[in-house]
Structure formats: C-alpha cells, structure tokens
Amino acid sequence: MILATYVHGGETTAGVVDDGMVHSLDCTMAELLAAGLPAALEAGARAVEAVGVPISDVRLVAPLQPSTIRDFVTFEEHVEGVRRSVDGAVGVVDAWYEAPRFYFTNPYTVHGTGDTVRPPEACVDLDFELEVAAVVGRSGSSVSVDDAGGYIFGYTILNDWSARDIQRREMQVSLGPAKGKDFANTLGPWIVTADEFDAFRTEDGFFEVGCSVEVNGEEIGRDSLANMGWTFDSMLAYASRDSWVHPGDVLGSGTVGNGGCLAELWGRRGEQSPEPLAFGDVVTMTVDGIGSITNTVGRPRSTPRVPPARRPDREQNRARTSHV
C-alpha cells in the first residue's frame, strides 16, 4: 500500500494512493504510525472504497514529520569515494566493517517532493545524497535482528543534502557533520508499506531495488540496494541497542554507491566533476518500487554571523586559576 501526506482544498491529511487517485484517511500520518501497520492497512483498504481525487489535483508534502532521523552509511563504495574527497585518505577504515554506523540529522528541516531547497549562505560545494529510508512503526529497545523486520512500517526516498565545504571544515574537529548537513533533507514522495516493499527482498534480507539520480535530466548515478553492507533489519536492531526506536523514527540507508552523490565522484576523479549544485539545478531521485522525488536548488539563505572563538592568553588564564 502507498500512503501519502497531501494538501487538498487547504487541508493536509494522509491518504492512500491507488491507480492515480488519492483517497483520504481523515487522519495524520503520525496517527497511522501510532496505530501500527496492521491497523493502517485495514484503514487504507476501507479508504480506497470511497471516492478519491486525482493525484494531479493535490500537492504532495513530506509523508511524515520524523521524530528522529538516524542516517547510516552502509555502502562501501560511497565511503571509499567520499573519504578521499573529504580528507584525501584512501580506502575504508576497519571500524566501518564492525557495525552499521550512523549519525543523527535534523528532523526539523524536512522537505517534500517539489519543494525548493535553499543551501546555507556560506556553502559553495552543494551536494545531493541518494538514499532509501525505513520508517519505524513500533516502539522497541535492543530489538534482535530476527525480530527487527516487524518494527518497520514502510520505506521512502531520502535526499540527505550536504554542504561539502562546510562539512570538511567541521569534521576536522573529529566530530560528525553538523551545519554541513542539517539545513535540509527531503523525504518522499510517499511511504510504501513494508508488506508491499518486501516483494523485492532477497533470501539474505537485502532488496534488489534500483536507485538512480539525475541533475537537470542527466543521469549522474545508479546503484542497487542489494549492495548495502547491512540489511535494514540489522540497522534497526543496532539503532535500538541500549536505546529505543519509536513510531515515526527514520533510518536512512546511507548514500548509494556509483555516483549516489557528487563527493564520491570528486574523490575518485580527483576533481570536481560534475560541478557542485548551483541555483536553479533540478535534482530527481528515482527508486524502483517507490517512485521519484524532485527538488530545485534555490537561493542561499541569509543568516546572522556567529563570531569565531576567542583566543585567550593561556599563561594569563593559569595565573588567574592559581588565585582561585
């Protein structure tokens, strides 16, 4: 089943997309997630029996407002290329193979398909990142890998927009990315429920699903989810270890390889080819079994200046401390 959040007649609601029509569920996606997948499927089955409206007559927005977004990095090819681009190092660190690593990104800057995305004012190396995300539909802590599939509500496309020049400077402090990442991400165009997406699942738990990205109509990258280093089930189990996952949490797959972002290609080619994204560029991501999302790059946003750190006299500080 395909579940979307859309605006029609000034009202925002969740609905079922079926055969070019969208059928209102008269509730929010948050309420569907809280009810759980079985209840959502029952509600959806009832909704499609009612009269819908053509999907061309509605405006799709981000399918959900996530509680949290954990963004993993599960494609070895991506790690290798981006590492070379960011810090000039070659290969993949051994620690990457130990567990599915992730960072928390911003749930408050979520865009939907069709939106204009505005980069930071200081950004000169704007990049896209093509991912698929799992949406959590049940609460759990320290969930086993065998049980984790039952906690996934569905799947959607994720574009983890990145300001690479800002990211490179931030990560010199030996912390994860911050302002190089949290200005925007895109989810959409809707959620495909887990029972439907499981049609693409292989015997070893991965998904044989093609993913591609175009900029201004030119294909930049193409890969398969089958090349992930970990399954979504393993990712959810790791996310919940000594912690919790709750309905509305989002787990990003990490960027696919083979051109899933520009930085990977820059690292492999030793030059910025293709060039960074610029005002007016149109980015379209397509994932088999889900659909497509499209965003246009807008003008940079203007933000207040934050001063650099002061550089105090350490000898003076020690003298002051000795008198305390």
Integer Cα distance of 61 and 124 in angstroms: 28
pLDDT at 155: 98
pTM (predicted TM-score): 0.95
Give the model confidence (pLDDT) of 119-145 as tens digits. Answer: 999 999 999 999 999 999 999 999 999
pLDDT at 320: 64
pLDDT at 317: 67
pLDDT at 82: 86
pLDDT at 244: 98
- Give exposure, 284-303, as e/b (b: 16+ Cβ within 10 Å): bbbbebbbebbbebeebeee
pLDDT at 90 over 80: no
- Cβ neighbors of 180 (< 8 A, separation 6 or more) are 162, 163, 164, 165, 166, 167, 168, 169, 170
pLDDT at 200: 97
pLDDT at 178 over 80: yes
pLDDT at 321 over 70: no
Over residues 71-80, the mean pLDDT reads: 94
| R_g of the chain computed on alpha carbons | 21
Q: Which part of the chain is CATH 3.90.850.10?
A: 69-297
pLDDT at 100 over 70: yes
pLDDT at 312: 80
pLDDT over 70 for what percent of the chain? 97
pLDDT over 90 for what percent of the chain? 86
pLDDT at 172: 87
pLDDT at 52 over 70: yes
Domain 69-297 in CATH 3.90.850.10: yes
Over residues 248-271, the mean pLDDT reads: 95
Q: What single-letter DSSP state applies at residue 319?
A: H
Query: What do you get for the CA distance between the two ends of the chain, in Å?
Result: 67
* Cα torsion angle, 46, 47, 49, 50, sign: positive
- E strand or H helix at 134: strand 130-136
Over residues 20-36, the mean pLDDT reads: 96
Residue 55, phi then psi, degrees to nearest 5: -65, -25
Integer Cα distance of 284 and 269 in angstroms: 23
Give the model confidence (pLDDT) of 203-238 as tens digits. Answer: 999 999 999 999 999 999 999 999 999 999 999 999
pLDDT at 314: 72
pLDDT at 316 over 80: no
Give the model confidence (pLDDT) of 152-169 as tens digits. Answer: 999 999 999 999 999 989
- Mean pLDDT (the chain) is 94
pLDDT at 184: 98
Residue 318: pLDDT band with limits 50, 70, 90: low
Q: What single-letter DSSP state applies at residue 261?
A: B
